[in-house]
Amino acid sequence: MKITDIRISDTFYVPAKPQQDAISRLPAISLHNFCRVFTDEGLVGLVPVSGGSLTKVLIEEALKPYVVGEDPMDNERIWQKMYWGMLSSGRRGAVMTAIGTVDNAIWDLKGRVTGQPVHKLLGCYRDAVNSYGSGINLNLPDEALVQQMRGFVHAGFKMVKMKVGHQDPRRDLERVRLVREAIGPDVDLSLDANNAWSLTTAIELARQLEPYDIYWLEEPVLADEIDSLAQLARATRIPIAAGENHYGKWEFKELIEKRAVAIVQADVVKCGGVTEFLKIAAMADAHGLPVCPHFSNFVDVSCIAAVPNGLFHEHAQDFFEPASQLLTAFTEPKDGMVTPLDRPGFGIQLRDDAAEKFGSPPAAGVERRTTQRGWRWPPYM
C-alpha cells in the first residue's frame, strides 16, 4: 500500500458562541477543515486540521512530496522525512502543526488498514479517560461563569477550569473566589491565563490564589519564557501547567529539565502528532510527570488512553459542540469520563450533508483578532 495524495477540505462554517481569552477574540462562527490522506487501495485517513489556510498550503505544497509514495505503516520514517525536509523553513509553529496534522491522519489511516482503534494500536493502558469541564470565555458575566462551572459539576466532572487574565487582576481573584464557593471544596479547580501575565504579576497572583486550592495554573507567562516559568514554579505551591504552545520533543525536554512544569500539556497536533506525542509522554513519565493534552478535536482521547501517565481529557464544550455537528460519530464525556471510539483509527467520520449545511461562509465574513492590549497585560508589572 502506498500513499497517493493528501488534501485539505474546504472550510466548514459552523455557528458558535463568541469567545475570548486573555489574548484573542473568536467570532460567533467556528471554522473547521479536515485532512485526508489517500492510498492506492482506496483507504483514506481523516483528521481535523488546526491552522486553517496556512496549514493547507504547508501540507499540500510543502509536505506532500515527502509523503506521497510512502507506506502509511512507516509513520516514523515519514515523520522524519517531513521534519528534515522542512528544517530550514521552520521547525516550530505552523510547520510543526502541519507535520502533526499529517502524522495524525496517517495514524488514523493505520487504524483503518489494520481495523483497530488508534488507542489499541498504541498499546492501550486504560479503556476510559478522566475528563474535565473547560470554560473558554474570559468575558462571561460572573453569574454565567458560576452557572457554567456548576453545570460541569452536575454533569459529573470532578475538575473544572476557568479563564483568568483580566486587565485588572482583582477581577480574576474575585471570580476565582465565586467559583470556588459555588463548586465547593471537593471539586478540583484549574486556571488558564493564556500567556497573559508578566513574571512579577504571576508570582504575586499565584501567592493570592493559593488559598483557593488551585489544581494547576496554566500558561501564566509567555510560552517562550521557559526560565520565567521555572522561576514561578519555584515561587508557588500551585502546580504549573504548560505545553499548548510548545512544539516538538526538544522544547518539552527544556520545560521538563528546567522543572518549569508539573503538568505537561502537549497538544497532540501542535507538538508534531501522535508519533512525537508518544516520545514527549515517555520523557515526562521518566521524570514522574503526567501528560494532559490541550483540547485537540477528538484526537487526544486515544493518546491519553494509551499512555500510563495520561491525566485528563479537556472537554471544551463551546468548541466541542460546533465541531461535533460535522461528524456522524465522536467521543463525548459521560459522568466525567470519556471512552475512545471502538472503531478503526480515531473513529470519526464526516456527515454526508456537512458541506450542504456548513459549506458557505457568513455574509458578514469572519474576523479573528488579538485583544487590544499591546504585547500583554500588565506589561512588566
Query: In the prediction, which pLDDT does 256 show?
Result: 98
Query: In the prediction, which pLDDT does 365 show?
Result: 64
pLDDT tens, residue by residue, 84-141 = 999 998 889 999 999 999 999 999 999 999 999 999 999 999 999 999 999 989 989 9
pLDDT tier at 27 (50, 70, 90 boundaries)? confident
Do residues 307 and 278 touch, judged by C-beta distance below 8 A?
A: yes
User: What is the pTM assigned to this prediction?
Assistant: 0.94
What mean pLDDT do residues 74-92 have?
95
One of 163, 166, 249, 313 is an active-site residue; which one?
Answer: 163
In this structure, which topology does domain 119-352 adopt according to CATH? TIM Barrel (3.20.20)
What mean pLDDT do residues 6-25 have?
88
pLDDT tens, residue by residue, 192-249 = 999 999 999 999 999 999 999 999 999 999 999 999 999 999 999 999 999 999 999 9
pLDDT tier at 318 (50, 70, 90 boundaries)? confident
Residue 361 or 86, more confident? 86
One of 119, 294, 313, 315 is an active-site residue; which one?
Answer: 294
Q: How far apart are CA 7 and CA 60, in angstroms?
A: 6
Domain positions in the chain = 3-115, 119-352
Note if 294 is an active site residue. Answer: yes
What mean pLDDT do residues 302-318 have?
95
Given the candidates 3.40.1280.10, 3.40.50.10490, 3.30.390.10, 3.40.50.300, the CATH classification of the domain at 3-115 is 3.30.390.10
pLDDT tens, residue by residue, 319-342 = 888 889 999 988 889 999 999 999
Do residues 310 and 304 touch, judged by C-beta distance below 8 A?
A: yes
Instruction: Please check whether the two domains, 3-115 and 119-352, share a CATH topology.
Output: no
Note if 163 is an active site residue. Answer: yes
Q: What is the chain's mean pLDDT, rounded? A: 93
Burial (Cβ within 10 Å: 0-12, 13-18, ≥19) of residue 115 = exposed
Q: How far apart are CA 21 and CA 28, in angstroms?
A: 14
Reply yes or no on whether the pLDDT at 374 is more than 60. Answer: no
Q: Tell me whether the omega of the peptide bond preceding residue 293 falls within 30 degrees of 0, making it cis.
A: no
Query: In the prediction, which pLDDT does 23 show?
Result: 81
pLDDT tier at 375 (50, 70, 90 boundaries)? very low
Q: How far apart are CA 6 and CA 61, in angstroms?
A: 10
Reply yes or no on whether the pLDDT at 381 is more than 60. Answer: no
